[in-house]
């Protein structure tokens, strides 16, 4: 009998897991989730911060690195590259079997401090690609204004891209168009389009959290509570269907190009009054990815309901945004704020990660000295 995660694949959706840590890979947990249906992995600075500085799983390797490396970022990159490389190897069978370009990927994010610097982002993307040295690495680039230029340039270099921190429908469309420009440039340079892929990580739960907070403050209609995020995601799905169709896309597709898939991110439910797997259940449809924290993946395995849902109420999704506007809730203001907050959150996590590595240096080297 198929698991619920495996059933998602039957509806054209690939379930990924939003987590990466050394024990998760080496102790077989990732392989177990793959057997249950997981087909990809995403990571971010917050996940790595918690994994590396939150316990002792990396301490032996840190002691080795501290002997020769003084820069915290270089220590982090060495650890991250090892973890991502091993996860890529575990997922390689799914990658080799995938004919859509959608499965078997592992995402590693560029330094979030470069979110507003396109040139530095592209250089970092190229460095990460060389450092990990696996064909199923997908480099994560924030979908900021500067990120759009970096996405195009990175794709033009033949490097797969996960566009992260997308909240706005307009920014999502711009990211898709940047991907197309990069594909055209890569093809013109003689590149093999079948080796390049991209996902657009469209965030879900944070939209409802901010919209519902503003709705409560404004005394808006209770019926609107918890409705904006899914409507926003369904409209993003329509954008994908529009951008990746027509004669121009057909020509690229014939040359081997894969569409940029919608990836539903931040799909854990923050509202305790709602079903814990509601976002996963409401965004099931072909040509998409859903990346879930392990707890959400386990919950969906236990009691998730599977069925085609992305095509439900598509006509009313735009009306939902209009109803929020009528209630005095500014959609553009919400998504702009969430983009800024998302970038800042990852920058803060990255800074805390580097600080944590420095603290580890002091603790581990002091321990060596005490034992000498």
Give residue-wise pLDDT tens across range 269-305. 999 889 999 999 999 999 999 999 999 999 999 999 9
Is 207 a member of any domain?
Answer: yes
Residue 101: inside a domain: yes
The mean pLDDT value for 164-168 works out to 98
Examine residue 83 and state whether it is found in any structural domain, yes or no: yes
pLDDT of residue 369: 52
| Tens-place pLDDT, residues 122-138 | 999 999 999 999 999 99
Distance from C-alpha of 169 to C-alpha of 89, rounded to nearest angstrom: 34
Residue 311 has pLDDT above 90, yes or no: no
> What stretch of H or E contains 16?
strand 13-18
Examine residue 372 and state whether it is found in any structural domain, yes or no: no
- How many Cα atoms are found within 13 Å in the side-chain-facing hemisphere of 69? 17
How many residues are given for the chain?
372
- 370 found inside a domain: no
CA–CA separation, 321 and 313 (whole Å): 13
| Tokens, residue 348 | 């803060």
Active site residue 345: no
Cα–Cα distance for residue pair 284/299, rounded to 1 Å: 16
Supply the pLDDT for residue 354.
97
Q: Assess if residue 338 is contained within a domain.
A: yes
Query: In this prediction, what percent of the chain has a pLDDT beyond 70?
Result: 98
Residue 252's nearest CA partner among 185, 323, 152 is 185
Give the end-to-end CA distance of the chain in Å, rounded to a whole number.
Answer: 57
- pLDDT > 90? residue 98: no
Quote the mean pLDDT of the chain.
95
Whether 15 is in a domain gets the answer yes
Q: What is the pLDDT of residue 372?
A: 37
Provide the residue range defining the domain that includes 130.
4-364
What local confidence, expressed as pLDDT, does residue 312 receive?
A: 78
Distance separating alpha carbons of residues 305 and 283, to the nearest angstrom = 11
Q: What is the pLDDT of residue 220?
A: 94
Model pLDDT for residues 199-220, shown as the tens digit of each residue: 999 999 999 999 999 999 999 9
3-class SS shares of the chain: helix, strand, coil, % to 5: 60, 10, 30
pLDDT confidence bin for 370, thresholds 50/70/90: very low
CB 26 within 8 A of CB 318: no
In a domain, 369, yes or no: no
In this model, does residue 116 exceed pLDDT 90? yes
pLDDT tens readout for residues 214-270: 999 999 999 999 999 999 999 999 999 999 999 989 999 999 999 999 999 999 999
- Return the structure tokens found at 4: 């619920």
CATH of residue 215? 3.20.20.70
pLDDT greater than 70 at residue 371? no
Question: Element (H or E) spanning 137, and its range?
Answer: strand 137-142
DSSP characters for 71-136? Answer: -HHHHHHHHHHHHHHHHHHHHHHHHHH-SSS-SS-EEEEPPGGGTT-HHHHHHHHHHHHHHH--TT
What does the pLDDT average to over 325-349? 97
Confidence of residue 86 (pLDDT cuts 50, 70, 90): very high
Provide the domain count of the chain. 1
| Whether the predicted pLDDT of 368 surpasses 80 | no
Name the catalytic one among 140, 270, 345, 360: 140
Q: DSSP characters for 277-304? A: THHHHHT--TTEEEEE-HHHHHHHHHH-
């Amino acid at each position: 009998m198929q698991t619920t995660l495996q059933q998602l694949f039957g509806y054209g959706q690939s379930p990924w897991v939003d987590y990466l840590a050394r024990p998760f890979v080496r102790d077989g947990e990732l392989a177990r989730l793959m057997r249950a249906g997981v087909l990809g992995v995403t990571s971010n600075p917050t996940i790595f911060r918690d994994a590396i500085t939150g316990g002792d799983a990396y301490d032996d390797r840190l002691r080795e690195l501290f002997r020769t490396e003084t820069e915290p970022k270089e220590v982090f990159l060495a650890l991250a590259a090892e973890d991502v490389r091993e996860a890529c190897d575990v997922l390689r069978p799914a990658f080799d079997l995938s004919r859509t370009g959608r499965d078997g990927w592992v995402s590693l994010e560029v330094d979030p401090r470069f979110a507003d610097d396109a040139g530095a982002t592209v250089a970092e993307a190229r460095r990460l690609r060389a450092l990990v040295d696996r064909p199923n690495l997908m480099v994560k680039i924030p979908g900021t204004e500067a990120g759009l230029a970096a996405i195009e340039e990175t794709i033009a270099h033949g490097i797969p891209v996960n566009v992260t921190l997308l909240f706005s429908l307009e920014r999502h469309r711009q990211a898709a168009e940047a991907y197309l420009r990069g594909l055209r440039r890569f093809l013109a340079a003689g590149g093999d389009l079948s080796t390049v892929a991209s996902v657009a990580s469209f965030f879900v739960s944070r939209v409802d959290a901010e919209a519902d907070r503003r709705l409560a403050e404004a005394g808006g209609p209770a019926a609107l509570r918890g409705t904006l995020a899914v409507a926003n995601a369904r409209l993003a799905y329509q954008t994908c269907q529009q951008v990746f169709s027509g004669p121009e896309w057909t020509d690229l597709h014939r040359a081997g190009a894969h569409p940029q898939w919608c990836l539903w991110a931040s799909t854990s439910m923050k509202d305790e009054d709602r079903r814990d797997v509601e976002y996963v259940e409401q965004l099931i449809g072909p040509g998409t990815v859903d990346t879930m924290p392990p707890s959400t993946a386990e919950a969906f395995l236990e009691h998730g309901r599977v069925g085609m849902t992305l095509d439900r109420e598509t006509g009313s999704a735009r009306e939902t945004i209009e109803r929020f506007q009528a209630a005095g809730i500014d959609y553009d203001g919400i998504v702009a704020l969430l983009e800024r907050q998302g970038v800042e959150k990852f920058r803060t996590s990255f800074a805390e990660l580097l600080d944590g590595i420095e603290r580890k240096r002091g603790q581990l080297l002091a321990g060596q000295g005490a034992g000498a």
